[in-house]
Amino acid sequence: MRLKRFLLRYYPPGIILEYEQGGQTKTKSVDLLDLKPETDVDAVLDEISRKEPLITPSRMDQVRTLINKLQLKLSAADDHAFYLFKVLRAHILPLTNVAFNKSGSMFITGSYDRTCKVWDTASGEELHTLEGHRNVVYAIAFNNPYGDKIATGSFDKTCKLWSSETGKCYHTFRGHTAEIVCTAFNPQSTIVATGSMDTTAKIWDVQTGQEISTLMGHSAEIISLSFNTKGDQVITGSFDHTVTCWDVRSGSRIHTLIGHRGEISSAQFNWDCSLIATGSMDNTCKIWDARTGQCIGTLRGHEDEVLDVAFDYTGQLLATASADSTGRVYNAVTHQCLVKLEGHEGEISKVCFNPQGNKILTASADKSARLWDPQSGKCQQILAGHSDEIFSCAFNYEGNTIITGSKDNTCRIWR
């Protein structure tokens, strides 16, 4: 094995090692999730040199420089106030979803008008209309971090794979017998997963367009689907009150997470793949050990359905969004509720952290999105202007651009 070069990853903090093995170029990452501006760099270097044989003593000065860069980024003051940059009247019928590519230079919108549109964020210009589905385009995804492909899942029971650069359709994935409501690429962008109202999920080969496996075992609709960071496992959340963790390569079940007393709304891995968080219509969120499949904590406090859950990049904090109009932030290790996010006047359907982990974004039926401080729980800013409920919101990779999608048929870009 020969180390070729280092690549810096700001969010979450880490160093990517590009190396050669057997004539092939491969990568592995050194995650520095606990790095702080005040962290002792020498101690970090000692730990890296112990654990990572690819980094020899002659490379240590380079690594020190990279860690200093990461610390500088982490210490940068973040008092950014967002302003409305563009209003896009995206579709003639209601939107279903919005999503950024990694850099935030492009975003996509799905709609009841049976199309997905690709937009240039800076100009607000429509780049492509992806036409071909025969029913609602409900689930949409970029193959981030690459961003050169888009998957669209439809009520017509098919998923299509497109070029984000040309708008050309590469493949149509057929095989589901009911509506497709969730889709995701693995982080390596070699496969697409789809979840359907037919109670199954399917894994598809991006290159060939062939079905690799069908994940069978749920007894009700699958409405949530998420890969872990390594891309070797996928979790499916279902209306049957369970979440199943699957081995991607074999298509076999690893664990079934049983314990919720209501339909699953959301299921996510944390960054290092050690934990899984699940939100449910039973008003609770649960945290599970991803290795054993055991429930290690039930997070109570919400007075209505939990509609979304999100980890920060360290996996230490977990945010929840609820139909009771509040959000909450929990310590993912101690399971203690740290703060309540109070101020919305309608159900909160979406919650996410910015990449830096120092802001939380929520989208609500009260027609507003809000930005919160996860430490104090204070509302920092209200993004108002939509004339109907906001169902989708997202940050770009730098955390300096936000997109909100509303039932008023518009999406808004905030900078």
Quick: pLDDT tens for 69-117. 999 999 988 888 999 999 999 898 989 999 999 989 999 999 999 999 9
Tell me how many domains the chain contains.
1
Structural domain includes residue 62:
yes
Residue 359 · residue 318 · CB < 8 Å: no
Cα separation, 179 vs 311, in Å, equals 28
Closest CA to 370 of 350, 355, 400: 350
Range of the domain at 45: 2-75
Structural domain includes residue 59:
yes
pLDDT at residue 90, rounded to an integer: 84
Structural domain includes residue 183:
no
Instruction: Fill in the DSSP letter of residue 134.
Output: S
pLDDT mean over 396-409: 94
Residue 360 · residue 341 · CB < 8 Å: yes
pLDDT at residue 289, rounded to an integer: 98
Encoding tokens for residue 173?
A: 């994935």
Share of the chain above pLDDT 90, in %: 96
Structural domain includes residue 32:
yes
**Distance of alpha carbon 94 from its chain centroid, rounded?**
23
**pLDDT tens-digit map of 310-341:** 999 999 999 999 999 999 999 999 999 999 99
Query: CA 339, 10, 14: angle at the middle one, nearest 5?
Result: 100
pLDDT at residue 76, rounded to an integer: 87
Structural domain includes residue 22:
yes
For 20, phi and psi rounded to 5 degrees? -110, 130
Structural domain includes residue 52:
yes
pLDDT at 278 over 90: yes
* Structure confidence at residue 220 as a pLDDT band (50, 70, 90): very high
Say which range, 21-25, 192-196, 254-258, has the weakest mean pLDDT: 21-25
pLDDT at 282 over 90: yes
**pLDDT tens-digit map of 126-164:** 999 999 999 999 999 999 999 999 999 999 999 999 999
Encoding tokens for residue 296?
A: 């290690």
- Please return the burial class of 45, using the count of CB atoms within 10 Å of its CB with bins 0-12, 13-18 and 19+: middle
Share of the chain above pLDDT 70, in %: 100
Structural domain includes residue 113:
no
pLDDT at 1 over 90: no
pLDDT mean over 372-386: 97
At residue 275, what is the residue type? Answer: L
Structural domain includes residue 44:
yes
Residue 367 · residue 349 · CB < 8 Å: no
E strand or H helix at 402, and its extent? Answer: strand 402-406
DSSP string, 283-307: S-EEEEETTT--EEEEE---SS-EE
DSSP string, 182-241: EEEE-TTSSEEEEEETTS-EEEEETTT--EEEEE---SS-EEEEEE-TTSSEEEEEETTS
pLDDT at residue 377, rounded to an integer: 98
**Cα→Cα distances 412→16, 55, 89, 377, Å:** 34, 45, 9, 25
pLDDT at residue 61, rounded to an integer: 96
pLDDT at residue 303, rounded to an integer: 98
Closest CA to 295 of 275, 315, 317: 275
pLDDT at residue 111, rounded to an integer: 95
**pLDDT tens-digit map of 156-199:** 999 999 999 999 999 999 999 999 999 999 999 999 999 999 99
**Cα→Cα distances 386→289, 383, 396, 405, 410, Å:** 39, 9, 20, 9, 8
Q: Which residue has the tokens 């509720």?
A: 337
Whole-number mean pLDDT of the chain? 96
